[in-house]
Amino acid sequence: MNDFLPVNREDMEKRGWDAPDFVYVSGDAYVDHPSFGPAIITRVLENAGYKVAFLAQPDWRSDRDFTRFGRPKYGFLVSSGNIDSMVAHYTVAKKRRSSDAYTPGGVMGKRPDRAVDVYCQKIRSIYNDIPIVIGGLEASLRRFAHYDYWDDTIRPSILISSDADLLIFGMGEKQIVEIADRLAKGENPCDIRDIKGTCYKVDVRETPYTGTECPSFENVCQSKKEYAISCRIQQDEQDFFRGRAIKQKHGKIMVVQNEPMMPLSTEELDAVYELPYMRRWHPSYDKLGGVPGIEEVEFSITHVRGCFGACNFCSLAFHQGRYITSRSKESIVKEAELLTTLPNFKGYIHDIGGPSANFRHPSCKGQEDRGLCKGKKCLAPTPCKNLVADQSEYLDILRTVRELPKVKKVFVRSGIRFDYMLEDKNEAFFKELVKYHVSGQLKVAPEHCSASVLDKMGKPHIETYIRFVNRYFELSRSAGKEQYIVPYLMSSHPGSTLNDAIDLALFIKQQKLHPEQVQDFYPTPGTISTAMFYTELDPYTLEKVFVAKNSHDKAMQRALIRYFDPKNQAMVEEALIKARRTDLIGNSPDCLIRGSGRYHNQKQKTQARPAVKKQEKRFSNGKKKKY
């Protein structure tokens, strides 16, 4: 009978184990659901025949939790969980968050800052030379020397700081089984140097000849230009087809990233998602109120991995990759049927999605032979002429699932790439999305309106979004539905000046938007945008990039997105005065705010710029929008 993995010695002894083969240490609570990376890795290992115990959110201030299973036969596997521990703990303003969605009851403080480092150091102090393998998002994105926003400094590879033996980057199913098999055969972890999708460290005298070398830890600490170059090299070699090994020197140690692992095939991906997950949090959390992080995904289905959108501020391309791998329709329908049998199912499947919901296949036919293009994007600033935009397979899956008995509605809540949707000449998916799969509001991510900022983001220009919005409302009216769009907008992304932020405020006013939340750019490891933030250089051109780093400057840009909020009045007024845009303060319909009166009788020092008037015409197209 299926059950949760052992979480204590009593569970282990009930299974007749003297000791586990592996102890999986996670910064998250134990949730056995395929939307949680730790659940996938542990079930994959179990399926391969290994005895795996789960150590969730151990107390790092003592040895007790780390010794509850005794010494594992082959080693420890360490992850911060589904989310980076620093992002879990701190807002972009570096203020402590009030709750943790991956902890029972949402309680804060159950994991340490830099969880992977802390857990590994504790294990090493107790068990000395026991094999330690690290993986998950926190480890994957920190595999090279990286800018750390919270300390505002360059930190070494997490392989160095954690003193782990091996690092798995990417999703990791193939790597973890091969590592386990080789450890079970008695191989020393220090000798396991040839598994794709892993990183290891050696004395510089043992540096392999193959691959390419990026600037050293010492060099990137001393030179921002060298740091930008190192990030470009690292990003460019993540394609599974053409990616080379990458080496980075840290003093007398060489950190080596092997070539990326081949993506799972459709059959392999199906098998991963059909493993016997319990699909809920561990019952020991019931009295604590459960784990909030499962609420959005409990009745959701992942149908695809990878994202060739590759926005510069998103770490997914560096972690999961740009190549698209998809599950079979049969596997997805089988999971949907399983969801309908669960006790809490109310008839609603919340999502059939992935990083970008409407991707089902590689962006062009040439990727099987040559991989994804180096240094180029498939959709931005304009779609590649070789792009194959076809959503018919995804539409067929949605049609089948929504007709299943007990299913009332199937929503699509993952990010929809509206630019890709517009490239599909067959509007069937667009029409049925609007008619059947929107819960009243569709969330999309134009992010900004300034072409120069969007170029730095790696996003399409705003005209594409406007074209999409116009068609969305036309189709909604045709379907007899009153539906809305919720656009995600980002402030203070590298390249965004105060004037760009003002232009965004004007765009919001002209489009009659009232965004409730604003995402200030968050510099997390492993993205091109973070490299821009730190170096103030574009890694691909090495040209200067304006970056709003001062907290007050960032606050002004953020306030402008919600210029209509009375709480932001003073900040918006200050921003407009600083930018010499007092023409936007007053009673005119074209103004953003009325002003405090301090400047009521002051002669306007500047006139509206012709470029802004031109933008106003371009944004509005002479039409009113209902949001």
Residue 272 domain flag:
no
Which pLDDT value is given to residue 517? Answer: 77
Residue 466 CB neighbour total at 10 angstroms: 20
Residue 379 domain flag:
yes
Which pLDDT value is given to residue 597? Answer: 59
Among the candidates 136, 167, 200, a domain finishes at 200
The answer for 22, left when phi > 0, alpha when psi is -120 to 50, beta otherwise, is beta
- In degrees, rounded to 5, the angle at the alpha carbon of residue 444 between the alpha carbons of residues 491 and 627 is 90
Q: What are the mean pLDDT values of the chain's consecutive 10-residue runs (627 residues total)?
A: 89 96 98 97 98 98 97 98 95 95 96 98 97 97 97 98 97 97 97 97 96 98 98 95 96 98 96 97 96 95 95 92 95 98 95 94 89 92 95 97 97 93 96 94 94 97 96 95 93 97 96 87 96 98 96 95 94 95 92 73 46 44 41
Structure tokens at 51: 């005895």
Sheet holding 519-520, edge to edge: 441-447, 484-491, 519-520
- Beta-sheet strands, E only, within 414-559: 441-447, 484-491, 519-520
Q: How many independent structural domains does the chain possess?
A: 3
Residue 117 contacts residue 161 (beta carbons within 8 Å): yes
Distance CA 617, CA 624 (A): 12
Based on the domain organization, do 448 and 384 belong to the same domain?
no
Q: Which helix (H) or strand (E) holds 167?
A: strand 166-168
Based on the domain organization, do 64 and 75 belong to the same domain?
yes
For the entire predicted model, the pTM comes to: 0.93
Among the candidates 439, 472, 503, a domain finishes at 439
Based on the domain organization, do 178 and 44 belong to the same domain?
yes
Distance CA 144, CA 159 (A): 8
Distance CA 119, CA 121 (A): 6
Among the candidates 152, 185, 200, a domain finishes at 200
Residue 261 domain flag:
no
Which pLDDT value is given to residue 368? Answer: 81
Residue 342 domain flag:
yes
Based on the domain organization, do 373 and 393 belong to the same domain?
yes
Which pLDDT value is given to residue 307? Answer: 93
Preceding peptide of 72 cis, ω within 30° = no
Residue 213 domain flag:
no
First CA to last CA distance, the chain? 51
| Distances from the Cα of 214 to the Cα of 274, 434, 537, angstroms | 40, 47, 17
Based on the domain organization, do 578 and 607 belong to the same domain?
yes
Based on the domain organization, do 454 and 435 belong to the same domain?
no
Residue 248 CB neighbour total at 10 angstroms: 26
Structure tokens at 412: 């699509």
Based on the domain organization, do 431 and 485 belong to the same domain?
no
CATH code, domain carrying 337: 3.30.750.210
Based on the domain organization, do 446 and 429 belong to the same domain?
no
Dihedrals phi, psi of 582, to nearest 5 degrees: -70, -10
Domain that holds residue 542: 441-627
Structure tokens at 601: 């009788």
Which pLDDT value is given to residue 599? Answer: 53
Based on the domain organization, do 451 and 396 belong to the same domain?
no
Structure tokens at 153: 């400094």
Based on the domain organization, do 565 and 427 belong to the same domain?
no
Structure tokens at 222: 């001393």
Which pLDDT value is given to residue 598? Answer: 58
Based on the domain organization, do 355 and 408 belong to the same domain?
yes
CATH code, domain carrying 582: 3.30.750.200
Residue 260 domain flag:
no
Residue 349 domain flag:
yes
Residue 110 domain flag:
yes
Based on the domain organization, do 509 and 470 belong to the same domain?
yes
CATH code, domain carrying 109: 3.40.50.280
Residue 557 contacts residue 491 (beta carbons within 8 Å): yes
Which pLDDT value is given to residue 619? Answer: 47
Burial class of 230 by CB neighbour count within 10 A (0 to 12, 13 to 18, 19+): buried
Residues 6+ apart with CB under 8 A from 339: 299, 301, 345, 349
Residue 4 is classified by DSSP as P
Collapse the DSSP code of 53 into the 3-class scheme (helix H, G, I; strand E, B; otherwise coil) and give the result.
Answer: strand
Burial class of 361 by CB neighbour count within 10 A (0 to 12, 13 to 18, 19+): middle
